[in-house]
Structure formats: structure tokens, C-alpha cells
């Protein structure tokens, strides 16, 4: 695995939260296991590829496209962490898409340990953000730039009042 860490210290104090407290997901839809590191512009998470039938196939593999969900949940954890630090509740975010997703494998082996890093590269006044994301594991590398909408109040947005 590729160990990531910040190149420069950041003033944000790291407070470890269980990753489930940072996501708007529930139950077996929480695919991440652990928050490793978070800063003002980045986050690192870890997971074990699960063989629970949600995404796994009879050959005990998970399609590589699920890596985009690992990345999206990592960004959701980034958002959730920063919201909790400001005393706010967890909100829904929306994965709008990507221009590319590259993976060195077509499927992840169940039981594989993966590390996901997301770095915010752009944030607009319209609540849209772009994150550069990478997944690393043994003989695994995947990368994508995700376009996301992270509204301040998802309820208002969904009601058409936050546009």
C-alpha cells in the first residue's frame, strides 16, 4: 500500500470519528472502514473489499467501477468531518459524474485492503466541488476526478429552494 500523509502540517486538529458517523449512508451501504487522516483540503480512508453480496460476485470479486463509490464515500466523509467540526449535521451530497475513471484492475479481490485519498482541487460558490481521488492497494491503482454537489442544506436543495 502507498502510505499518504500531508506534505505540510495543517492547523486542523484531527479528531477521529467512526466513519459511519460522517456519512449519510446506513447499514451495509457504508463501504468504508476507517478514517485515517483528514485536513483542510484532503482526506484518507481505508476499507476492506467486502464479500457480502451487495457488490461482490460468485468469484469473490467486486467490479472496479465500485471504486467510484469508495471515492464518493470518502468525499462524503470529508464533508461530514468538516460539518461535524463546525457543529453541523451530516447532509446528503450528490455525485454528478467524472470525465474519467482509470483502474489497473477490472475487479477488486474481496478481502483486499484499499486506501482512498481525495484532495479538493476546486470549490465553487454554487456548492459544486471537484476532488482528485486515488485508490491504492496491493497491485491496485485507480484514479478519478469526481464532480460533486455538496449543498449546505440538501433538504432545501431537494425541495427546489436551494438552487
Report yes or no on 95 lying in a domain. Answer: yes
* CATH number of the structural domain spanning residue 110: 3.10.129.10
Quick one: cell of 24? 449519510
Report yes or no on 2 lying in a domain. Answer: no
Domain residues for the domain of 69 are 22-158
The angle at the Cα of 105, spanning 131 to 128, to the nearest 5 degrees, equals 15
Going by C-beta distance under 8 Å and a sequence separation of 6 or more, which residues neighbour residue 53?
none
* pLDDT score of 160: 78
Could you tell me the pTM of the whole model?
0.87
**Residues 5-32: pLDDT tens digits?**
444 444 445 667 899 999 999 999 999 9
Distance between start and end Cα atoms, the chain: 41
Residues in the chain: 163
**Residues 84-109: pLDDT tens digits?**
999 999 989 999 999 899 999 999 99
* pLDDT score of 162: 60
Mean pLDDT of the chain: 89
* pLDDT score of 38: 95
Report yes or no on 12 lying in a domain. Answer: no
* pLDDT score of 65: 97
User: E strands, the chain, where?
Assistant: 34-38, 42-48, 61-63, 94-103, 107-109, 113-123, 128-137, 140-149
Domain count for the chain, please give it: 1
Report yes or no on 4 lying in a domain. Answer: no
Amino acid at each position: 500500500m502507498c502510505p499518504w500523509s500531508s506534505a505540510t502540517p495543517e492547523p486542523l486538529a484531527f479528531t477521529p470519528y467512526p466513519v459511519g458517523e460522517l456519512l449519510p449512508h446506513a447499514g451495509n451501504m457504508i463501504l468504508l472502514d476507517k478514517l485515517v487522516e483528514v485536513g483542510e483540503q484532503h482526506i484518507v480512508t481505508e476499507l476492506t473489499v467486502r464479500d457480502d453480496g451487495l457488490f461482490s460476485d460468485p468469484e469473490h470479486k467486486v467490479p472496479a467501477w465500485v471504486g467510484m463509490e469508495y471515492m464518493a464515500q470518502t468525499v462524503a466523509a470529508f464533508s461530514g468531518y468538516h460539518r461535524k467540526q463546525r457543529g453541523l449535521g451530516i447532509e446528503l451530497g450528490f455525485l454528478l459524474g467524472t470525465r474519467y475513471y482509470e483502474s489497473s484492475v477490472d475487479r477488486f479481490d474481496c478481502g483486499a485492503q484499499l486506501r482512498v485519498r481525495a484532495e479538493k482541487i476546486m470549490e465553487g460558490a454554487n456548492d459544486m466541488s471537484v476532488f482528485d481521488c486515488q485508490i491504492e492497494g496491493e497491485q491496485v491503482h485507480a484514479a478519478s476526478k469526481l464532480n460533486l454537489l455538496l449543498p449546505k442544506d440538501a433538504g432545501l436543495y431537494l425541495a427546489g429552494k436551494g438552487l
